[in-house]
Structure 1
Amino acid sequence: MNRMSRIAAILAALALPLPALADPIAATLYKSPQCSCCEGYAAYLRDSGLTVDVKPSNDLAQISAEAGVPVEMQGCHTMFVDGYVVDGHIPVGVIRKLLSERPKIAGITLPGMPMGSPGMVGEKTGPFTIYAVTKDGAAPTVYVEE
């Protein structure tokens, strides 16, 4: 490799976004077959460097409940990433925080479909309260407000 080729290769690597340089985070997202905001959320995650496999399902409530997410805390879709459940339109920064901290929980949830959350239309009107959930039936606790 000549000097100019090496310089071009280094510059090309520096131009890549950081997620492209790291190993991609693989996730499986279960969504209602009719839901379009879930597709928007998957696109947001892909744009943020995650690899997302979308699987339509009519059993979202059951999938979430079996993963430890109480019915009243469920979001619009359920995703599994590196041993955790991620329920709802959770910002990618919070997912990365979860994966770096590795707390002893089943996962996290953002209940409902808050306006302005990733994949949703509208403007964010306040912080999102994201909850930690367990599989032992303990009440969810606040994981982070973003």
Structure 2
Amino acid sequence: MQQKTFFTRKTAWALGALAFASAAAVFAWLPGQNGAPQAEHTAAAGGHAAPHQIEVWKDPNCGCCTEWAKRMEGEGFKVVVHNTGNREVREQFGMPQQYASCHTAKVGGYVIEGHTPAADIRRLLAEKPDALGLATPGMPLGSPGMDGDMYQNRKHPYDVLLVAKNGSSSVYQSYR
């Protein structure tokens, strides 16, 4: 009795090529396997699915704003900086002057005023409250960008405020 051959040589080659192409496609999607930096696939901190783009408006000569932007980048955000000042954009975005700081940012449709920690921004993006955004008024020592040796490691207590669309606010997070 003659056995039937299920695979011809041509079929075997085609299946092998398909398996190779499938494996290559899988490896291309893995973080860091296609020559792209890992940050393109997952955020640097916390393994978040994709980095959020945060746009920052600041004075070109402000060192603490530059440090805050670097900190956000280190926390996995894709940062775009506009060295044009922030007063006009703060007004344009509707952030009341009483919450003013040295830089204004926008991420995920929310306005971020001042030296707000990345953890609070991530929480805002996860919770998605019906709000204008967050504000860390002034320039509190110990907040991101206002910390470290340059400031003799001093820390002042401060609050991050959740700013409602009507301009009112409530404490979102306290740092003591």
Q: TM-score, normalised by structure 2?
A: 0.67
Q: Would you say 1:145 and 2:170 are equivalent positions?
A: no
Matches within 5 A, 1:54-73: 54-58=81-85, 60-73=86-99
Task: Classify 1:126/1:52 alpha carbon distance in 2 versus 1 (closer, same or farther; 3 Å).
Answer: same
Q: Would you say 1:130 and 2:160 are equivalent positions?
A: yes
Other structure's SS at 2:78 match: strand
**What stretches of structure 1 of length at least 5 have no aligned partner?**
none
Q: How many residues align?
A: 136
Q: Which structure exhibits the higher relative contact order, with contacts defined as CA atoms closer than 8 Å and separated by 6 or more residues? A: 1
Query: Contact between 1:89 and 1:117, CA under 8 Å: does it hold in 2?
Result: yes
Task: Classify 1:22/1:44 alpha carbon distance in 2 versus 1 (closer, same or farther; 3 Å).
Answer: same
Distance in 2 of aligned mates of 1:124 and 1:93? 20
Which amino acid in 2 is paired with 1:134? A
1:40 paired residue among 61, 67, 89: 67
- How far 1:128 moved relative to its partner? 2.4
Task: Classify 1:76/1:18 alpha carbon distance in 2 versus 1 (closer, same or farther; 3 Å).
Answer: closer
Distance in 2 of aligned mates of 1:43 and 1:18? 13
Query: Contact between 1:31 and 1:56, CA under 8 Å: does it hold in 2?
Result: yes
Task: Classify 1:101/1:124 alpha carbon distance in 2 versus 1 (closer, same or farther; 3 Å).
Answer: farther
- How far 1:126 moved relative to its partner? 4.4
Q: Percent of counterpart pairs with the same letter?
A: 33
- How far 1:70 moved relative to its partner? 1.5
Who wins on radius of gyration, i.e. which is larger?
A: 2
Distance in 2 of aligned mates of 1:64 and 1:102? 21
- How far 1:63 moved relative to its partner? 1.4
Structure 1 residue aligned with 2:109: 83
Distance in 1 of aligned mates of 2:174 and 2:65? 22
**What stretches of structure 2 of length at least 5 have no aligned partner?**
1-19, 21-26
Distance in 1 of aligned mates of 2:155 and 2:57? 27
Distance in 2 of aligned mates of 1:50 and 1:107? 17
Question: Cα RMSD between the aligned structures?
Answer: 2.6
- How far 1:18 moved relative to its partner? 4.7
- How far 1:25 moved relative to its partner? 1.2
Large movers: runs of 4+ above 6 Å: none
- How far 1:38 moved relative to its partner? 0.9
Q: TM-score, normalised by structure 1?
A: 0.80
CA offset digits 1:14-49 (Å, max 9, x no partner): xx9554662111110000122111111111011111
